[in-house]
Chain A
């Protein structure tokens, strides 16, 4: 079955760096776009970044652009998020999620959805 397991979180000081990893299993990793999504304490979900299946295309939320870098190693079935210049407002549980395109027969359009998520990994930015 599909499994996504995040690791690498923890406590870091403002301005510091951290690298999150997500180990994938149970599916052909290189076929799928992947994303990072976060949830600050007591808040809702916020999409952070995604990467194409080959790794050639990436996209970021404005709140992390220029500070975070998403990457992947298809041979090792792993997704990464390098987080630099961390701020208190980056404190959150970070989820990796698989992106799947679904075909809607009613409208004839392809619609992306996050069909599998990891359990999440807490990142705390505090002095």
Chain B
């Protein structure tokens, strides 16, 4: 199975900060990488597909980059509604696997 490692597992940030979350795949998954946002009691939401493509309706402050084994999700100017848990997920090969999540908390 492809291993997905996310870091940090949690971070504290303030409204207006820039936040970067890293996801590492082993082995390489080219660009078969998606990012999701999860809030308590709500359905997870697709943010980014194919490493760098913004899902329709997702604010432009979200962006994704990377290929091969190393990927990042960035949020510029963090907003109150962005405090949530973020997961990366590979769809390169079955079984599809997720990172363990990064919880973004209010400082």
Contact = CB atoms under 8 A, between A and B. Distances in A.
A62 B49 contact: no
Q: What is the interface of chain B mostly: helix, strand, loop, or mixed?
A: loop
Contacts of A104: 31, 49-50, 53
Contacts, number: 74
B59 interface: no
Contact of A102 (B43, B53, B96, B99): B53
B99 A44 contact: yes
Nearest to B31: A107
Contacts of A46: 98
Interface in B77-102: 87, 89, 91, 94-101
A40 B73 CA distance: 24
Nearest to B101: A44
Contact of B87 (A44, A59, A97): A44
Q: Indicate the size class of the contact surface on chain B.
A: 20 to 34
A44 B100 contact: yes
Interface residues of A, number: 25
A118 B96 contact: no
Contact of B31 (A45, A109, A112): A109
Among A4, A62, A97, A111: residue with most chain B CB under 10 A: A111
Interface of A: 4, 44-47, 59, 61-62, 95, 97, 102, 104, 106-107, 109, 111-120
Given A44-B101, A46-B98, A112-B91, 17 more contacts: A44-B98, A44-B100, A45-B44, A47-B97, A62-B95, A95-B44, A102-B53, A104-B31, A111-B32, A111-B34, A111-B91, A113-B46, A113-B50, A113-B91, A115-B55, A118-B43, A120-B43
